[in-house]
Homo-oligomer: A and B are copies of this chain.
Amino acid sequence: VADPEQAMEEGSRQRVAVLFSDIRGFTSFSEQHPPEQVVRQMREYLTEMTDAVLDPAVHGVLDKFIGDAVMALFGPFAEEGANLSARAVVCALDMLDRLDALNRHWETEGLTPFRIGIGIHAGEAIVGNIGTPQRVQFTALGDTVNLAARLQTATKDLRAVLLVSEPVRDEAEAVLGNVVAFVDRGPLAIRGREQPVRVFEVARRAPTKPAA
């Protein structure tokens, strides 16, 4: 890219890993608890998730919150040759660790714990500052983003916590193969796609925290 700043302004096509996370049963939770409690737990939860994304070890970009969902990107502003899929998976594992700690804390206060599902896909997307002069946001657009969101949705049907696509498995395995197993959950039919998508559930091999 001749002028990276210009490209950010106008949008460029680049490879990214996209992560979506979402709280299970959040709608029921939000309707059965006082709004102040919902907003407080959301704030504590989203703070932990944000810290996981922005951790210098994974160097993620917090794209946005969508209700109780978090969208994060790996790739923009990363150095050449970084293993984007491994970074996204490490971020997801960190999110789960942070959620465990938060749930233990909440339980001592008698608050409801959260459970989450996470989906990750990697591929090309249009990345840049999208929006209007008044409301501009750095984000990613395209099918790569859609599929990551669908994988997150699929965690509900497959009763999985962390699902990734085959390209993510292929890229991340070299770095993370010792600490996690990528368990084939078979081809999955995805709305709006002709071909089923092969998905992998990520399971920890060891309790130690991997480095990206």
Contact = CB atoms under 8 A, between A and B. Distances in A.
A56 interface: no
Contact of A35 (B11, B27, B134): B11
Interface residues of A, number: 40
Contact of A135 (B26, B65, B133): B65
B38 A132 contact: no
Nearest to A69: B66
Contact of A141 (B13, B30, B50, B135): B30
Given A38-B11, A39-B11, A135-B62, A31 B68 contact: no
Given A30-B142, A35-B11, A132 B64 contact: no
Contacts of A91: none
A126 B30 contact: yes
B50 A134 contact: yes
Contacts of A178: none
Closest 6 CB pairs of A and B: A11-B39, A11-B35, A47-B132, A10-B36, A35-B126, A27-B143
